[in-house]
Structure 1
């Protein structure tokens, strides 16, 4: 059994090739002696010498520079050929720019590649889009927040919410929030998310006040079924009980994850209306609402909230 062998990821380096050149051409050492000095297998040195041979006028010599150049060329042909094509790159990039997740984009060519491959292409920079352009770019895990009771409870606590609502076993239970466009007193969005179907309702209201919220809710009651509403402890939701007849449950303070469905939808809205948006229109808001309700969801086997609402 031989004493010297190559381990994985222990290829010959350029300085080692320079040593081989000096020992082979000038000192006239044998391949086995060179292998002993470098701690490599004799066959490795033999292959290396054959790789780097150059023809001179009267004889052949080993050239470390020539061997290094050929080594780089050969390394480019290593590994499996990528399945990424220009057409595939275009489809993925267009999907990301259309605010679709990679999981949804994958459905159009499922079986060709896997989801991990798409993420690898994105991280290596092989696509025309960047990682931060994803719908939900994950950089680090969020810190877990402690649940604390609000100082001024406006109504029923979320701890009193029935299991039917917690388990999402019945339709008509909504989560509510407001999305501010600018810090200045301006128009804002009132968002409602149905917990079972993930159906989204967005309304542009004049300001972030209890009166504006209640006015919008009263008009929505003619179109939607409200069996319960889950809200945070913002002052704009302090008088929800005056606008709706259904129970209103309030989350713990600083516990937005208790309305996780609505918060995730708010993040999707931010893709179109980032913080600092000075002005928007009801038509633009309606377009965003339509896009969200027709966006395929993995939890529904890539059916849309609109299809779930219709029982499809």
Structure 2
């Protein structure tokens, strides 16, 4: 004896068969159930659901039953928490160069996975390519290559206290080119403990321009150490700052990871190929970065950490 299926009718053609057998051929519910291999109670429920009351009699309508089924299914499952107000807030945050994690701090009742799900489904005005870093590369293994021109102390000699970010005043330094042509560029410094950022517009990528900017900064900034790459513009740092200078291994920019991440944040405003900018525009970016909430600080800003929370 075949097992009867108690599942509901999902297909329109099954309802059309029931309509023909019940209305025209006048088969019993049990006989219809046997033909469809369904339980008699399933057929009974279906006939009640698809009832259409006419002037003289009541009959079963497959079309009406299918519409009722679709209406009932539309109410199944959890309702989305997405509203037009949420969509507007997320869109404004992305336009303000914020990550979804930072935008999430302004929202209630949703999680980060939900935001990415909405983006993937296309339910937001924000598309996946609008996000800051939609693609990630695997971290390459470090092959420690000594620099061709050792300018000073190796990062291997940097004290563990600096590595663990235990004290304030230890900075990572780099330059950010705007164009390939000889032009203005940016000098960036990131404080390792607080992630406080300093950006200065300098006339060119030379050791003289870097040292001139550092000498001016010493009047207002505490330098306990510097960590840089092996670029020629950093060959004479010892002439500008009275503190230890540690040089990374060749092709190991991640040894200045905080500074590299901040350079990438600057690229949100000044992408490669920017032909010119101003000191005022650079200062505005510096202020924006100082007030950008950081997950590592429980969404406090570098400015709050710089001032002692």
What TM bracket, shorter-length normalisation?
Answer: 0.7 to 0.9
Aligned equivalent of 2:78: 80
Offset, 1:44? 4.2
Q: How does 1:132-281 map to 2 (within 5 A)?
A: 132-137=129-134, 139-152=135-148, 153-281=150-278
Determine if contact 1:150/1:233 at 8 Å carries over to the other structure. Answer: no
Aligned equivalent of 1:90: 88
Return 5+ residue gaps in structure 2 as ranges.
none
Offset, 1:212? 2.0
For residues 269-300 of structure 1, give each alpha carbon's deviation from its aligned partner in whole angstroms, at most 9, with x where no partner exists.
11111122121111000000001001122222
SS state at 1:80 partner: coil
Q: Do the aligned partners of residues 310 and 45 (structure 1) sit closer, same or farther apart at CA in structure 2, a change above 3 Å counting?
A: same
Cα distance in 2 for residues equivalent to 1:269 and 1:52: 63
Q: Do the aligned partners of residues 33 and 232 (structure 1) sit closer, same or farther apart at CA in structure 2, a change above 3 Å counting?
A: farther
Aligned pair count? 306
Cα distance in 1 for residues equivalent to 2:174 and 2:282: 15
Determine if contact 1:53/1:60 at 8 Å carries over to the other structure. Answer: yes
Confirm whether residue 294 of structure 1 aligns to residue 291 of structure 2.
Answer: yes
Return 5+ residue gaps in structure 1 as ranges.
none
Q: Do the aligned partners of residues 23 and 186 (structure 1) sit closer, same or farther apart at CA in structure 2, a change above 3 Å counting?
A: farther
For residues 118-170 of structure 1, give each alpha carbon's deviation from its aligned partner in whole angstroms, at most 9, with x where no partner exists.
33333333333223333443x34424333331341332222221110110001
Q: How does 1:17-96 map to 2 (within 5 A)?
A: 17=15, 42-54=40-52, 60-63=59-62, 65-96=63-94
Aligned equivalent of 1:3: 3
Q: TM-score, normalised by structure 2?
A: 0.84
Cα distance in 1 for residues equivalent to 2:35 and 2:20: 13
Cα distance in 2 for residues equivalent to 1:11 and 1:255: 63
SS state at 2:105 partner: helix
SS state at 1:271 partner: coil
Cα distance in 2 for residues equivalent to 1:143 and 1:34: 64
Determine if contact 2:174/2:259 at 8 Å carries over to the other structure. Answer: yes
Offset, 1:224? 1.1
SS state at 1:108 partner: coil
Q: Looking at CA atoms only, which structure, 1 or 2, has the larger radius of gyration?
A: 2
Q: Do the aligned partners of residues 58 and 307 (structure 1) sit closer, same or farther apart at CA in structure 2, a change above 3 Å counting?
A: closer
Cα distance in 1 for residues equivalent to 2:175 and 2:35: 72
Offset, 1:311? 1.0
Offset, 1:28? 6.4
Cα distance in 1 for residues equivalent to 2:236 and 2:31: 89
